[in-house]
Structure 1
Amino acid sequence: MSLVFVPERLRGRVQIPEDNVQRLLEENDQLIRCIVEYQNKGRAAECSLYQQVLHRNLIYLATLADASPAQPEKPTT
């Protein structure tokens, strides 16, 4: 997602609790599993519903990533 979609006042200032992000990532994992299961069963309508929720979650996470300050890279040892 482009920074164009993140309001100027939010760029580099968003602080979202890490557990919220982790919870969304776990939900996305479960959604992907459900999508695969329904695809294997040929149930396209259910796939579509789960894909919409997954898409919304991914857009939200991308927006957070764009609005968050850059994290310095940790040196490798």
Structure 2
Amino acid sequence: MSVAFIPDWLWGSAEINQETTQRLLEENDQLIRCIMQYQNKGQAHECVQYQHVLHRNFIYLATITDANPASTSQAK
């Protein structure tokens, strides 16, 4: 199960660390590969559910990045 599917009541208590972020990035890699396989087979309609999870993961990563002032100061 995707770490992006954390229940609302756990959002404040979920620990965001490098390991969690790395797992999510690896999951995104697998999702992209799966989506590409379906598209290459001409079954684009089959990959919609994976695209939704990938989108949610991207939004989650962007949200935690925006919420962490240390990450934006390190990027400069």
Q: TM-score, normalised by structure 2?
A: 0.71
Cα deviation for residue 45 of structure 1 reads 2.1
| TM superposition shift of 1:38 | 0.3
Q: What is the match of residue 40 of structure 2?
A: 40
Scaled by the length of structure 1, the TM-score of the pair is: 0.70
CA offsets 1:19-63 (integer angstroms, 9 cap, x no match) = 000000000000000000000001122211110000000000000
Aligned to 1:54: 54
Alignment RMSD, CA only? 1.9
Larger radius of gyration between Structure 1 and Structure 2: 1
Tell me the number of residue pairs that the alignment of Structure 1 and Structure 2 aligns. 61
Q: Which runs of 4+ in 1 moved over 2 A?
A: 70-74
Structure 1: unaligned runs, 5 residues or longer: 1-9
Higher relative contact order (CA 8 A, sep 6+): 1
The structure carrying a bigger helix percent of its residues is 2
| Structure 2 unpaired stretches of 5+ | 1-11
